[in-house]
Amino acid sequence: MDMIEISGQLNQDLENVAWVYFRLGESLNLTWLDRQMRAYRAHGHWQLLATVHYRDELDQQLRDLTASVLAQDGSDQGVPASPEAKLESWRSARQPLLGRWKRMLGDMQAVSDVDCAVFSVAHSVLRELSRDAA
């Protein structure tokens, strides 16, 4: 449903949306983060609610990131940019944040106890990535 909504909102081909959606999820290793959230054993009602929220938020972050990539013009002399070109342009504009994400992801993967605090910090970086580049 996410990809269909993005396709309709941005008037983009569904195949292009799907390509960006899955490529982003893979390159940012969001599947690993989702698995950590699923595996996390909450201690108490509030941690359980927070974990559910973080999983929903991760889905929203991937939607926002995908839309951020596809919303770029990137056309060359009136010819629309390919999803690959848009993704590369998006990455180039966000190199410092992507470097921060990769370092943080490496730190997260190096510890044995990933918890709600880690999920919160991860989401803050993902939110920054989905905003327009300065």
Residue 33 has pLDDT above 50, yes or no: yes
- The residue segments making up the domain with residue 77 are 2-130
- Name, in order, each residue with C-beta under 8 angstroms of 66's C-beta and a sequence gap of 6 or more: 2, 3, 6, 17, 20, 21, 24
Read off the pLDDT of residues 21-30 as tens digits, 9 standing for 90 and up.
Answer: 999 999 999 9
Judged by DSSP in three states, 79 sits in strand
- Cα–Cα distance for residue pair 38/22, rounded to 1 Å: 19
Residue 39 has pLDDT above 70, yes or no: yes
Whether 87 contacts 16, CB under 8 Å? no
Q: Give the pLDDT confidence score for residue 74 in this predicted structure.
A: 64
Residue 133 has pLDDT above 60, yes or no: no
Number of domains in the chain: 1
Q: Give the pLDDT confidence score for residue 134 in this predicted structure.
A: 42
Bridge partners of 76?
A: 79
